[in-house]
Chains A and B, each alone.
Chain A
Amino acid sequence: MSPSRSRYAARDVVVTAMGVVSPYGEGCRAYWEGLSTGRCVLGPLALFPTEGFPSDVGGQVDAATVRSLGMAARSRANRFVIAAAREAIRCAGLAPDTLREAALSIGGAGGGMLEVEAWYHHYYHGEENPRWRGALRTMLPASQTEAVATRFRIEGPRETPILACSSSAAAIATIADLIATGVVDVGLAGGVDSLTRICFMGFNALKLLDKRPCRPFSQDRQGMSISEGAAVIVLESHAHAVARGAQVRACVAGSGISSDAFHAIAPPADAEGAVRAMREALSRSDLTPRDIGYVNAHGTGTLQNDRSEAVALVQVFGAGNVLVSSTKSLIGHTMGAAGAMEAVATLLALEAGVLPPTANLNVPDPDVPFDCLAHTPRPHAVACAMSNSFGFGGQNVSLIFRHPRTFE
């Protein structure tokens, strides 16, 4: 740990609560039980017909969990994100006045498109039904942010970042910025995406879906597995958290955001943008690569992405110098929600001193020169951990979290 930063500053940003809906079920407890035991939930998708497509494998929140969330009149994505926010707000114990002034950022990609697709298919065939038009009002990703704001009466700065698969990581980084610069004292940041036919069809069209559960960092990997879920994190200035007696779960030590300016869907071979994002996060954290004990990788399982991320990790940390795993191998790629869900995975790993494994990693790729924690969770306490999220369009976001015990 860097000796220069052993005390909190007032505007340091800390995590005081989290909420999750995942293919393991509702809540952080179910999420951590699944991750910390290395249970892969990927299998055939049942939410919509998959006949005629090369791959039908993915992660899905089961019907019983969805029913238990209530709010049946809402879109699937809205139900996920409201449930995740509810858990986070309840755990944080935020007073209504505090919540009203809080910032809110919910990243996403697909919005309420699942329900709109059903409407559109009828519309396309000339069978438009006015009774189904309500779905159109939840089509935009911003409608999920609006749903959380309305449900919990949040009236601070509100935004819906869309950075493809790094959307919700950016939500965390930018809300942390608003707290660090004194715009607000409290913010909720997270992300949500439900499965959609468009996402399923699109990644099939790009031939980026593995026919088996995804195998990040494995030499025989053949693509990703799409999935769904939501996560919301409560962020506060350290001074605010202390003043109200909140438990500090971790510190958002720093973050990096960069773009590749290279290609619509492919990263550059030298991973230059990802390297800049990781180095910016380190620099803003006042930490060195040696301080980072674990990286929750973007780790999608596609040939190109895993190779590129490995190149970046080697440049930043040196080959073999950090433990790496991909929790996408357990729950799949939750798209716009992935950054926040993996941030929560990283935070829970920091707390528990147990690192979640990379499932299905049978043949480690020699081009990925890191211990990728194959199959089995690893009891290993780390002080600081990084979570990487990259996305189409050349988006790169890296987050660094620091355990509270590293502060005096």
Chain B
Amino acid sequence: MTTSSPPLAVITGIGHIGPLGSGGREVIAAFLRANTTAIGPLAGFPRDSGTRRLGATIPESALEPTEETRRWSRVSHMAVAACRHAVSGAGITESETLHRFGLVVGSEYGDLQSTEAFDAGFLRRGPRGLSAFLFPNTVMNAIAGTVSIALGVKGPMLTLNQPGVAGEVAVARAIALLAAGRAPAVIACGVDELFPVLYEVLGLLDVPSPRGGGEEACTPFDQRHNGPILGEGATALVLETPEHAQGRGAPILARVRSAGWGGLPARPSRYPSPVRLHHRLLDRVLTEAVASPDTIDVAYLSGSGDPEQDTAELALMAGIFGSEGPCITSVTHLVGEHGSLGALRVASAAMTVSSGLIPTLDYLRQPIRQDLRFATQPLSVAPTAVLVHGVGRGGAQAALVVGPSS
């Protein structure tokens, strides 16, 4: 890991579509300010989903098909919408500019809905039931392919599959593409959708709340936490080298001072055990950002409400920051959990450093750790350094430090 300190990348555009709205950074600012949740009883899920009934989905009105979008899968439509908002917010209007851009899409489940529909076609009608139209969507990069065609992006295009931290890893990899000189600007997008079969299957695996009984609720970091509430959405960021952004006179919302990703020891499909945690990645990311632990004001964590994940992540925070650490927050209680939510965490961190907005954890009654600070009140001043951290099943880990534009 390098230890130089220049801003690795600047964020010039943010786009989002999720249960709380669709648009540019103003949409994210609005729901961070309102701090109201989109989680509620799911409608329109035809299958029996057992005892579970909560989730957070995008209103169908936000994804009305048009002549352009009618052949896109729903998840591709979500990604294109988020990327278009981000590009628009970055003030990019010329297709010639976008030709040189790169694109990184992070997703946990990709277009699994099309895969299920393709296989179901065979089970219904045999080989005659197979859709040549659906098949290309069964490969996860079809989402990025659709975005690249819709926007005219012709630079390097990567799709990264990663449980839990797909969004953060997409942003970190986009920055690595900038550092390698692959493109002067890269759009990083995290996207995952929720659909009936996925909801049911994750229920069969006892992933969501209420795992092991209790109240079905989204309560990350609280003694009541018993699994995540599932959600969906897409968040895109336009990341540029500082020189490129300045050269085109782009509005700079925030800068990414450091970014890294790696792995912690964990059993397959499990979160890291607190007894085997180490801080190597966090140490390196803080060093690269030239930020001692006491200069980090706020930390956006995965905070899904999964007890194993919450425990591991808070143990990491306590280990590196101690009791005087940053104010810990999350966005999961607002929009539900999905594997690529990290892109929204990075976008939210950009809003926190630019406008001082922070989601407060109003549901928090008894934190699982008393030695850490949680966001229970609005900030009085905009912070200068915000950590975004995620940890996924299998031990995947990502961390970024976001700072203000100047």
> Known contacts A162-B140, A201-B127: does B180 contact A181 (CB below 8 Å)?
yes
Whether the pair B395, A146 counts as a contact (CB closer than 8 A) is yes
Among candidates B151, B154, B179, B395, residue contacting A273 with C-beta atoms closer than 8 Å? B154
**In the bound complex, how far is the Cα of B131 from the Cα of A133, in angstroms?**
27
> Known contacts A183-B2, A264-B146: does B119 contact A120 (CB below 8 Å)?
yes
User: In the complex, what residues of B have CB within 8 A of residue A109's CB?
Assistant: 139-140
Within 8 A of A (CB), among B160-196: 160-163, 169, 173, 176-177, 179-180, 182
Q: How far is the CB of B254 from chain A (nearest CB, A)?
A: 22
Whether the pair B263, A163 counts as a contact (CB closer than 8 A) is no
**In the bound complex, how far is the Cα of B335 from the Cα of A15, in angstroms?**
45
Whether the pair B132, A259 counts as a contact (CB closer than 8 A) is no
Whether the pair B176, A177 counts as a contact (CB closer than 8 A) is yes
Range of interface residues on chain B? 35 or more
Among candidates B127, B141, B146, B177, residue contacting A52 with C-beta atoms closer than 8 Å? B127
Whether the pair A393, B139 counts as a contact (CB closer than 8 A) is yes
Interface of B is mostly: mixed
Within 8 A of B (CB), among A144-173: 146-147, 149-150, 153-164, 167, 170
Over the window 218-262 of chain A, the binary record of Cβ atoms lying under 8 Å from chain B Cβ atoms (1 yes, 0 no) is: 000000000000000000000000000000000000000111111
Does B109 reach chain A (CB closer than 8 Å)? yes
B261: nearest chain-A partner, CB-CB? A157
User: In the complex, what residues of A have CB within 8 A of residue B126's CB?
Assistant: 52
Among candidates A130, A142, A206, residue contacting B132 with C-beta atoms closer than 8 Å? A206
Whether the pair B141, A392 counts as a contact (CB closer than 8 A) is yes
Does B50 reach chain A (CB closer than 8 Å)? no
Does B122 reach chain A (CB closer than 8 Å)? yes
Q: How far is the CB of A397 from chain B (nearest CB, A)?
A: 9
Does B315 reach chain A (CB closer than 8 Å)? no
Among candidates B157, B163, B173, B179, residue contacting A159 with C-beta atoms closer than 8 Å? B173
Q: How far is the CB of B253 from chain A (nearest CB, A)?
A: 25
User: In the complex, what residues of A have CB within 8 A of residue B396's CB?
Assistant: 142, 146, 158
User: In the complex, what residues of B have CB within 8 A of residue A146's CB?
Assistant: 268-269, 394-396
- Count of CB-CB pairs between chains A and B under 8 Å: 209
Does B142 reach chain A (CB closer than 8 Å)? yes
Does B149 reach chain A (CB closer than 8 Å)? yes
Q: How far is the CB of B359 from chain A (nearest CB, A)?
A: 28
- Among A104, A147, A174, the one with the most B-chain Cβ atoms within 10 Å of its Cβ is A174
B156: nearest chain-A partner, CB-CB? A257
Whether the pair A143, B268 counts as a contact (CB closer than 8 A) is yes
> Known contacts A155-B263, A161-B160, A202-B135: does B155 contact A259 (CB below 8 Å)?
yes
Does B330 reach chain A (CB closer than 8 Å)? no
**In the bound complex, how far is the Cα of B136 from the Cα of A104, in angstroms?**
27
**In the bound complex, how far is the Cα of B138 from the Cα of A117, in angstroms?**
13
Whether the pair A391, B204 counts as a contact (CB closer than 8 A) is no
User: In the complex, what residues of A have CB within 8 A of residue B268's CB?
Assistant: 137, 143, 146-147, 150
User: In the complex, what residues of A have CB within 8 A of residue B395's CB?
Assistant: 146, 149-150, 155
11 contacts between A and B (CB under 8 A): A120-B119, A133-B205, A137-B268, A161-B158, A163-B158, A182-B2, A198-B118, A259-B148, A261-B151, A276-B154, A393-B139
Beyond A177-B177, A177-B182, 13 extra complex contacts between A and B, CB < 8 Å: A53-B127, A120-B119, A121-B119, A133-B205, A140-B108, A155-B395, A201-B135, A259-B103, A259-B156, A261-B153, A264-B145, A391-B141, A392-B136
Interface residues of B (CB under 8 A from A): 1-2, 99, 103, 108-110, 115-116, 118-120, 122-123, 126-127, 130-132, 135-136, 138-142, 144-146, 148-149, 151-163, 169, 173, 176-177, 179-180, 182, 201, 204-205, 260-269, 280, 394-396
Question: 10 tightest CB-CB pairs across the interface, nearest first?
Answer: A393-B145, A202-B135, A146-B394, A257-B156, A259-B157, A177-B180, A205-B130, A162-B140, A205-B132, A162-B159
